[in-house]
Structures are given as structure tokens and as C-alpha cells.
Amino acid sequence: MPRTTDSPLDGQQRKEAPGGPLAGRVALVAGATRGAGRGIAVELGAAGATVYVTGRSTRQRRSEYDRPETIEDTADLVTEAGGHGIAVPTDHLDPAQVRALVDRVAEEQGRLDVLVNDIWGGENLFAWESPVWEHDLDNGLRLLRLAVETHAITSHHALPLLLRNPGGLVVEMTDGTADYNRANYRVSFFYDLAKSSVLRMGFALGHELGPRGATAVALTPGWLRSEMMLEHYGVQEENWRDALERVPHFAISETPRFVGRAVAALAADPDVARWNGESLSSGGLAQVYGFTDLDGSRPDAWRYLVEVQDAGKPADADGYR
């Protein structure tokens, strides 16, 4: 494991622009309406970056999720954190829209330093442990398009701009580390295939970008306290521990800002190429860079899953936060 470094991104409340570690850097967070994408965008902004945030949910039109979060709200949060948030409505399944998005970034900024592929949109499209022959085929194929094809389209159009300057970073967001997903069946055929495919994207892009002066990684959060997850358990961020009586292992959960700090730490690391092609986790990177979640803890969810939850032990996050 590389040496532990003091992270310039640590602390609960930071407003570092215009002198933050990512001042002058330009990021595109594709799929930043809510959840991990929003947390990543805000933390990149807190480090001083200009952040383009995309998605299909706007103040004028909601996606099929029919949720209240919008990309304009995310852009506002980026700016409030100290960066410059720019919302661009984009359907990443439409190559023409993605091409127009990248052309806009090129025209307005002349560069792209960080690309985060966080497009997902499949929460309502998979059935838990439903075998492929029983799973709704249209939903499964739609899930694959949203989770895999969108990433490929975005990388195809955005990477030439990212490669204009050395040191670019691509983060492929997924669920699960390569080691964990290799050994464990993940939810269903379509979900498993989607998340494993994104892990391979990080690996493959590492091979293609590394010799050209850029870095690609796959990154997973732990058990994310996203807006949808909190709503599912009937709690809010302020009282999330009220859900532990019903879901004890939720004790290892983390805010979306935690994985956001992981991305910001990677983007600020002059030696980020050491991670090229690797599968990383928010909890693992926190041990290296020294950042914390909003409550000052460092939840290591994937180690906890193996050593506690999957081992059938009683929920106990002591030693894992």
C-alpha cells in the first residue's frame, strides 16, 4: 500500500477556492444529479475546481426516476462549496448530446482535467436475485444500456479533450471492488454484469490512457447514504442511525461526500498514476490520503462486508470506521 499522506482535502467544511488544490482545473461529473455523483461534484468544487454536472433531471423536467433532485441544485452546491458549478442537461445515451457537451467544455474552458463516469439510472430496473430467465428482459437490457453504454459514449467523446494536457484523470464509478465482485454474486445477472463491466472499463482505460499521460481507475463507494437510500429506510441524514434497529449493518454506511473526497484526493495527487488501471474504494483511499467522512470517521465498508456481514457476525462497526 502506498504511503499515507496528509490530504489537503480533509476537514468537515472547506471553501478553498480560488486557492484550493484543484483551482484552475476543469472536471466533468457525468451523472451528478444525486447520490455519489452529487457528492463527488461538491467535493471537487470544495477543492476549487470548475465542475460541469450532467444528468436528465432538471428544474424543468424530471427523468423517469421522478425525484426532486436536479442538476441545477448540484451546480449550486458546487458553487456554494467554493468551486464553479455548471449544469448541462445531457442524456448520455445520445451521442450527439454528449458530443455537444464536450464541445461546450472545450469552447468555454479549453481543457478537461477530470472525467467522472457516474451515469447509472438503473435503480428501478433490476429485481433482487431474480435469475436471467425470470428477469424482465426489457428492464435488464435498459439497465445495461444506462450503466455501460453511457460510459462508453462519454469516454469516446470526452477523452480527446482530456488528453490535450498531461495528468488527466478518469474515474469509472461502480459498486464493489474487483476482488469482491469476482468472488460474490451481485444482486442479479444484469446488475452483476453492469457493475463488473464498469470495473473492466477502468482497467481497459488504464491501458489506453497510461502511455498517453493520463490515469484511469474504477472506484466504488461503500454502503451509500444516498437520497434514495435514506428515503427507503424512512430517515434523513440527521437521524440516519434510527434505521439501525431494522438494518444493523447500516452502521458502516457513508455519505456521498466521502467518495467525493476520494475523487478530490486522487485529482489533487501529483503521483495519481500509481493507481492507473486499479480498482479502488472510498474506504481504502481514506486510509492512504487521510480524509474523513463528514462525521470525522473513515468507514471501510468493503472490509467490513467480508469480515463481518458476509461472515455472519453481529453488526459492529467498531474498528471499521
- What are the residues whose beta carbons fall under 8 Å from the beta carbon of 251, sequence distance 6 or more? 241, 244, 315, 316, 317
pTM value surpassing 0.85: yes
Express each pLDDT in 278-313 by its tens digit.
999 999 999 999 999 999 999 999 999 999 999 999
- Count CA atoms within 13 Å of residue 134 on its CB side: 6
Q: What is the pLDDT of residue 68?
A: 87
Q: What is the pLDDT of residue 43?
A: 98
Q: Is 158 helix (H, G, I), strand (E, B) or coil?
A: helix
Residue 217 and residue 171 in contact, taking contact as beta carbons nearer than 8 Å: yes
Give the helix ranges, DSSP H, for the chain.
35-46, 71-81, 95-109, 137-144, 150-162, 178-183, 189-209, 227-232, 256-268, 282-289, 301-304
Q: Using alpha carbons, select from 311, 305, 264 the residue that is nearest to residue 116.
A: 264
Residue 290 and residue 10 in contact, taking contact as beta carbons nearer than 8 Å: yes
Cα separation, 299 vs 321, in Å, equals 4
Q: Which amino acid is at 94?
A: D
Express each pLDDT in 220-273 by its tens digit.
999 999 999 999 999 999 999 999 999 999 999 999 999 999 999 999 999 999
Peptide bond into 95 cis (omega under 30): no
- What are the residues whose beta carbons fall under 8 Å from the beta carbon of 204, sequence distance 6 or more? none
> What is the distance of C-alpha 60 from the center of its chain?
25
Q: What is the pLDDT of residue 18?
A: 57
Helix 150-162 × helix 95-109 angle, to 10° = 20
- SS3 assignment for 19-59: CCCCCCCEEEEECCCCHHHHHHHHHHHHCCCEEEEEECCCC
Which portions of the chain are predicted below pLDDT 70?
1-18
Q: Which domains does the chain have, with CATH numbers?
A: 26-309 (3.40.50.720)
Q: Which amino acid is at 173?
A: M
Q: Using alpha carbons, select from 90, 165, 150, 88 the residue that is nearest to residue 118.
A: 150
Q: What is the pLDDT of residue 79?
A: 98
Residue with cell 499521460: 213
The alpha-carbon radius of gyration of the chain (Å, integer) is 18
Cα angle 219-151-110, degrees, rounded to a multiple of 5: 95
